[in-house]
């Protein structure tokens, strides 16, 4: 596999994205939706992991409208403070527009074999849910998305499979919010919900303070099986 930064063209301007291609030279497409820390080393490693599993992975800079090229550490106080500032400034509607543009760009790449999905974490977990609701993503996965319970009416737009990983002790998604997600989405035949009891937010973040190898391994295997099932 090989990784490089490329440029995505949009009606509002161009923005960067990290592209990682499998060793075979091509594969189904997966859009990687960032956390609040930008397209940092963690997001790039996830794109490389997906490429190692046979997918052509593209991680777009969704903060470009605020400040292009953000790459913050999730383990520093200053990085965390700036990340929350960016989260507050982020426009979710233009973000979904940029995701749709990125999906179209990924599908058009010679290294993408056709079907294209998305995977997101934290902020990207919410955006993954909204991607399933508002775009033509062929299969979408969200990890510990925040505030999904406030947007359950959007689920009417889900037309392709969606998998959500829910952290049981997520400090940003309390038990009542998790209950609302289950009540609102649990009966939808296109939606698969997986709970991880006792796990905090970001339990699957590569090399993160809250990472849990067992739960991350289980969630990641479920993710790969899901993506291969619907994108291969």
Q: What is the pLDDT of residue 206?
A: 85
Active site residue 122: yes
Using one digit for the tens of pLDDT, what is the confidence trace for 177-216? Answer: 999 999 999 999 999 999 999 999 999 998 777 889 999 9
User: The domain spanning residue 97 has which CATH number?
Assistant: 3.40.50.1820
Can you spell out the DSSP letters for the chain?
-EEEEEEE--TT--EEEEEEE-TTS-EEEEEEEP-TTBS-HHHHHHHHHHHHTT-EEEEE-TTTTTSTT-B--TTSHHHHHHHHHHHHH--HHHHHHHHHHHHHHHHHSTTEEEEEEEEEETHHHHHHHHHHHHS--SSEEEES-SSGGGGGGGGGG--S-EEEEEETT-TTS-HHHHHHHHHHHTT-TTEEEEEETTPPTTTTSTT-TT--HHHHHHHHHHHHHHHHHHH-
For 43, the domain range is 2-231
Active site residue 170: yes
For residue 218, give the nearest of 182, 194, 191, 193 by alpha carbon.
194
Query: How many structural domains does the chain have?
Result: 1
Q: What is the overall mean pLDDT for the chain?
A: 96
Say yes or no to pLDDT of 61 above 80. Answer: yes
pTM of the model: 0.96
User: Choosing from 59, 112, 122, 133, which is the catalytic residue?
Assistant: 122
User: What would you measure as the largest C-alpha separation in the chain, in angstroms?
Assistant: 45
pLDDT band at residue 11 under the 50/70/90 scheme: very high
User: Choosing from 61, 98, 170, 212, which is the catalytic residue?
Assistant: 170
User: Choosing from 98, 133, 201, 212, which is the catalytic residue?
Assistant: 201
Active site residue 112: no
Q: What is the pLDDT of residue 208?
A: 74
Q: What is the pLDDT of residue 2?
A: 66
Using one digit for the tens of pLDDT, what is the confidence trace for 113-158? Answer: 989 999 999 999 999 999 999 999 999 999 999 999 999 999 999 9
Say yes or no to pLDDT of 96 above 80. Answer: yes
Say yes or no to pLDDT of 30 above 80. Answer: yes
């Amino acid at each position: 596999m090989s990784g490089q930064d490329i440029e995505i063209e949009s009606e509002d301007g161009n923005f960067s994205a990290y592209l990682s291609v499998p060793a075979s030279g091509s594969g189904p497409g997966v859009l990687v939706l960032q956390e609040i820390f930008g397209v940092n080393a963690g997001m790039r490693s996830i794109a490389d992991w997906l490429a190692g599993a046979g997918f052509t992975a593209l991680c777009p800079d969704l903060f470009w409208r605020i400040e292009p090229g953000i790459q913050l550490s999730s383990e520093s106080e200053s990085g965390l403070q700036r990340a929350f500032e960016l989260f507050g400034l982020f426009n979710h509607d233009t973000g979904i527009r940029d995701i749709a543009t990125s999906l179209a760009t990924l599908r058009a790449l010679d290294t993408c074999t056709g079907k294209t999905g998305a995977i997101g974490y934290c902020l990207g977990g919410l955006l993954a849910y909204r991607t399933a609701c508002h775009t033509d993503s062929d299969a979408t996965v969200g990890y510990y998305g925040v505030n999904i319970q406030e947007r359950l009416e959007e689920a009417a737009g889900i037309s392709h499979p969606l998998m959500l990983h829910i952290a049981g002790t997520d400090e940003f998604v309390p038990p009542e919010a998790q209950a609302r997600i289950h009540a609102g989405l649990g009966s939808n035949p296109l939606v698969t919900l997986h709970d991880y009891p006792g796990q905090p937010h970001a339990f699957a973040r590569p090399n993160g303070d809250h990472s849990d190898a067992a739960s991350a391994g289980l969630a990641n295997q479920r993710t790969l099986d899901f993506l291969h099932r619907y994108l291969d």
